[in-house]
Amino acid sequence: MMIYDRIDETIGRTPLLRLDYLETDAALLAKAEYFNPGSSVKDRIAKAMIEGALARGEIDSETIIIEPTSGNTGIGLALICAVWGLRLILTMPESMSLERRKLLTHLGAELLLTPAKEGMQGAIDEAKRLAASFDKAWIPNQFANPDNP
């Protein structure tokens, strides 16, 4: 049994499951990403994006990380930021579930809710506006980030 000192060390160490009960000529394996601490493959990209930015000197411990999100990327970022002591502000539509919002705040993320009628575009616009208001802010931009394979 593996024993880890920090939750971020478990990210990506998910098991492969043999799917031999499926009738096929090929050996099928499934990577069980739901075994990540945030129950999603998005934990991997959150860790990779922040590690990459730190390694390149784009961010440091004083940088405020700001990301528009409606889901699992926000959870992954909140996990990493909590463990690594980084400040995280997430923008999201106010229509996101109360459960998701509670989880994110329990993980230490600050939430800025945007009008539901504006959808994700409203959250994206607010993240950009907010980032411009700080001296040291960084938007991971999950959809265009080179560390998100």
Which listed residue (31, 42, 117, 128) is catalytic?
Answer: 42
Q: Name the pTM for this structure.
A: 0.92
Tell me whether residue 42 is one of the annotated catalytic residues: yes
Domains of the chain are 42-138 (3.40.50.1100)
DSSP readout, the chain?
----SSGGGGTT-PPEEE-TTS--SS--EEE-GGGSTTSSTHHHHHHHHHHHHHHTTS--TTPEEEEE-SSHHHHHHHHHHHHHT-EEEEEEETTS-HHHHHHHHHTT-EEEEE-GGGHHHHHHHHHHHHHHTSSSEE---TTT-TT--
pLDDT tens for the chain, 149 residues long, are 889 999 999 999 999 999 998 888 898 999 999 999 999 999 999 999 999 999 999 999 999 999 999 889 999 999 999 999 999 999 999 999 999 999 999 999 999 999 999 999 999 999 999 999 999 999 999 989 999 97
